[in-house]
Amino acid sequence: MSKFSTVIWPKVVLFGDSITQFSFQPNGWGAETANKLARKCDVVNRGLSGYNSRWAKIVLPRLISSQNPAENNIAAVTVFFGANDASLEDKNPQQHVPLKEYSDNLKEISRFLTSAGVPADKVIFITPPPIHEPAWEKECVLKGCPLNRHNSVAGQYAQACVQAAGQCGSDVLDLWTLMQKDGQDFTAYLSDGLHLSEKGNQFVAQHLWSILESRVAHLPFILPYWGDVETSSPESSLLCNS
């Protein structure tokens, strides 16, 4: 039997909170990204609902190994935290992370990724989106708690994320700013005042792709196009290592 090598799919890892975890739902930004990269790489969802950057930096070594960096074969990583960190300390102390610690955590995540073979230019930070306080307050009331997030505070965390990304040498997708640019009504981008609606998912997918595309443009189409398979000897096409 002919010897052949196992096909290794490169990976794009989406690391974040619930906005990442739910991104593989129909029309989600993660699903849209995976669809664009079919036959080029695997898009891996590592979204952890409710998590903040403090917990993220702790669990990251369990998700990506730094022991054999070359074996990770990671084309890009998105780091999308802040929506929970920005919770008000007096209203939601469990998820709240102080602003400076949030910034430090992002930098520590970046340093770990570098040690795992993912340099800064392959990391894309994403800021928390804006908060529509009236809608989110209704959700909070339904859960028996007061409003626990403010848009102005989310903006401070978004700014910290932008600054941390710059200090790390990574690109950043500043959703908080882009969704409110030129005074546009950003509420349509949110389903409940915090999480993304279908329109919000489309917005993230579009703007993320404008940054991500250059990181994956070099990736080849994996395995031959069906029309190029040699019908009389398919093994010669399908088992070749080129």
Contact 108, 57 (CB under 8 A): yes
DSSP code for 111: H
**Residue carrying the six token digits 């939601």:** 92
DSSP code for 224: -
Contact 120, 168 (CB under 8 A): yes
Angle (nearest 5°) at CA 48 between 181 and 12? 75
Active site residue ranges: 18, 192, 195
Residue 16 corresponds to which amino acid? Answer: G
Beta strands in the chain, from DSSP E residues, in sequence order? 11-16, 42-47, 74-80, 123-126, 171-173
